[in-house]
Amino acid sequence: MPRKFIISLTALVFFFAIIVTALPMNVGAKDYLRVYLDGKEVISEDAPAQIINDRIMLPVRAISEALGLEVQWDPVNRTVTLLSPQVVVPNNEPLIPDESYYDIPIFGESVATSAQLRAVLKKNNPSAPDLVDLYLQIGKEYGIRGDLAFCQAAKETGWWRFGNLVTLDQNNYCGLGATGQAATGEENLNGANPDRIWYVEGRHGAFFKTPADGVEAQIQHLYAYATKNPLPRGKEIVDPRFTLVTKGIAPRWIDLNGRWAVPGTTYGQSIIDDYYGQAVPLTKAKPLSEVERLKNENAQLKVEVERLKRELAS
């Protein structure tokens, strides 16, 4: 549908960007103007632009048609309607990729290599801490896409520049516990190991003992969103909000929209497009293949098999 603009004839003054320039030209007793749009003169013989009572009056039809708008006159209601041209987008070049383009599960094997992630990290922030291997290794232990978890952290921290409430010394790379209110230091850890995670009075968000603890807490939070399974055998809770998540409610990255970040309506898409896409360029929209789906399911099964093996051995 074309966009409509309705203008009353009682207000014929148009406000444009700086692309319109007016030059005075004296003709008889009136001050007429020469109007230029993007360097090209706009000529209106029947209603030239002029200055009336110290106001610049521009001809509606001439200016509108020069801007590519269709002009319609309603004599009954004495209104002018301007119609913008309809934009036609080729079918093979969608402006916004459909959902299948983002149909990437949180579970699965990493695709981006450590070299690719490290290169894009150094490009965006040469002084950032190198946590690439931690994300890939810990992600693998949980069956989580460590490469995309790394990209999520890049989004949350601004490529580890921080600058908001959470700071680098907290080893908190995804804003866990940062609610907008400073901590009291007495926050409930909800079963998380207090030797590895704590809160500090007057500071925002959780503190983690080591970078590895911070990475694992983020991976655990993703794990809670993506599956109803218990933690892999031998793992203890590091994420202070692990037990607060509705388990399995967000199996895909785009399912984190409005959950991890509020309102965050394009949170998952941004992780994929703006961060992961720098490391592994995404060429076109396509649904996840059956082989890729099976690989992701296999990654989850591997985690479960390892957990069962440890239980049988104990």
What single string gives the DSSP state of each residue in 263-282?
S-TTHHHHIIIIIIHHHS--
Query: Band of the pLDDT at 31, cuts 50, 70, 90?
Result: low
Is residue 121 left, alpha or beta, with left meaning phi > 0 and alpha meaning psi from -120 to 50? Answer: alpha
List the structure tokens of 47. Answer: 């209603």
pLDDT at 8: 41
Give pairs for 94-101: CB < 8 Å, separation 24+.
Answer: 94/285, 97/285, 98/285, 99/254, 100/285, 100/286, 100/287, 100/288, 101/282, 101/284, 101/285, 101/286
How far is it, in rounded angstroms, from Cα 239 to Cα 220?
6
Among 34-38, 126-130, 192-196, the range scoring the smallest mean pLDDT is: 34-38
Q: Are residues 258 and 181 in the same domain?
A: yes
pLDDT-above-70 percentage for the chain: 74
The better pLDDT of the pair 11, 76 is held by: 76
288 or 42, which is more confident = 42
Does 156 lie in the same domain as 61?
no
Between these two residues, 247 and 179, which has the higher pLDDT value? Answer: 247
Query: pLDDT digits over 254-295, tens only?
Result: 999 999 987 788 999 999 999 999 998 775 444 556 666 677
Based on the domain organization, do 75 and 220 belong to the same domain? no
- Would you mind telling me the total number of residues written for the chain in this entry? 314
Instruction: Copy the structure tokens of residue 25.
Output: 């030209």
Q: Is residue 256 part of a domain?
A: yes
In a domain, 91, yes or no: no
DSSP 144: B
Using CB atoms within 10 Å of the CB of residue 156, give its burial: 0 to 12 exposed, 13 to 18 middle, 19+ buried: buried
Task: Read off the pLDDT of residues 115-160 as tens digits, 9 standing for 90 and up.
Answer: 999 999 999 999 999 999 999 999 999 999 999 999 999 999 999 9
Q: Are 13 and 55 in contact (CB under 8 A)?
A: yes
The structure tokens listed for 73 are 């006159």
Are residues 132 and 68 part of one domain?
no
Query: Is residue 232 classed exposed, middle or buried when 0-12, 13-18 and 19+ CB atoms within 10 A define those classes?
Result: middle
- 227-236 pLDDT per residue, tens: 999 999 999 9
Residue 54 has pLDDT above 80, yes or no: no
**Total number of domains constituting the chain:** 2
What is the pLDDT at residue 307?
Answer: 64
The alpha-helical segments, DSSP class H, found in the chain are 60-66, 114-124, 132-142, 146-157, 211-226, 267-270, 277-279, 290-313
More confident residue, 45 or 257: 257
> Are residues 265 and 148 part of one domain?
yes
- CA angle 54/56/58 to nearest 5° reads 155
- Is 114 part of a structural domain of the chain? yes
pLDDT of residue 94: 40
Does a structural domain hold residue 93?
no
The reply to whether 164 falls in a domain is: yes
Non-local (6+) Cβ contacts of 150 within 8 A are 112, 117, 131, 132, 135, 136
Phi, psi of 273 (to 5 degrees): -75, -55
- Residue 92 is assigned to a structural domain of this protein: no
**Res 52: pLDDT:** 78
pTM: 0.63
Domain that holds residue 136: 99-300+309-313
Q: Taking all residues of the chain, what is their mean pLDDT, rounded to a whole number?
A: 81
Calculate what percentage of the chain has a pLDDT beyond 90. Answer: 53
90 inside domain: no
Based on the fold, state whether residues 184 and 291 are members of the same structural domain.
yes
Give pLDDT tens digits for 64-114.
Answer: 777 767 777 778 778 878 776 554 444 444 444 555 678 899 999 999 999
Query: Cα separation of 274 and 112, whole Å?
Result: 14
Domain boundary among 23, 52, 83: 83
**pLDDT score of 50:** 77
Q: Is residue 244 part of a domain?
A: yes
